[in-house]
Amino acid sequence: MDKPIRVLVAKPGLDGHDRGAKVIARAFRDAGMEVIYTGLRQTPEQIVATAIQEDVEVVAMSILSGAHNHLFPKVVSMLKEKGADDMLVVGGGVIPDDDIPALKEAGVAEIFTPGTPTSQAIQFIKQNIKR
């Protein structure tokens, strides 16, 4: 447990459903990661400031409100602005298949839709963080 992976689990947008975020946070913890959880209704500014202060390797966002097309790319571009584009950004939640290519184009590394086993997300992170 020398260098645990540090992950920010964030809930951007206005929906109040964080069950999924909590389940994933717990799964990440059980996989030996340090999970920073910040609570509901985070603005992109709050998420980016937290990611930088906590020096995380992964920003994992969960969204159920439908605002993913706006909020995910916003976080990616703000991280880039701050010189933190080495962080791996992933997203989860209720996200239509049609939206996924554009999100990946915008710099979100992977999107996990409902029904994805948590082990898959964990494996993806372990294989794709920049170390």
Partner 1 sequence: MSLQERLVSGDVRALARLMTYAENNDPEATRVIKGLYDKTGGAYVIGITGPPGAGKSTLTGKLTKALRDCGKTIGIIAVDPTSPFTGGAILGDRIRMQDLFTDPGVFIRSMGTRGHLGGLSRATQTAVRLLDIFGKDYIFIETVGVGQSEVDIVKTADTVVMVMMPGLGDDIQAIKAGIMEIGDVFAINKADLDGADRTKIEIEMMLDLNENKEWRPPISKVVAVDNFGIDDLLEKIQSHRDYLQSSGELASRRLRNTKQELVSLVSDRVMEFILKKSDKGFTVDDLVERIVSKDMDIYTAADEILSRIKE
Query: What are the residues binding partner 1 (CB under 8 A)?
Result: 1-4, 6, 25-26, 28-39, 42-43, 45-46, 49-50, 52-55, 82-84
Q: How far is the CB of 99 from partner 1 (least distance, A)?
A: 27
Q: How far is the CB of 11 from partner 1 (least distance, A)?
A: 11
Q: Which CB, 16 or 32, lies closer to partner 1?
A: 32
Cα–Cα distance for residue pair 61/13, rounded to 1 Å? 10
- How many CB atoms lie under 10 A from the CB of residue 41? 14
Q: Which CB, 45 or 96, lies closer to partner 1?
A: 45
Q: Which CB, 81 or 101, lies closer to partner 1?
A: 81
Tally of residues, the chain: 131
Helix (H) or strand (E) holding 19: helix 19-30
Show Cβ contacts of residue 49 under 8 Å, excluding neighbours closer than 6 positions. Answer: none
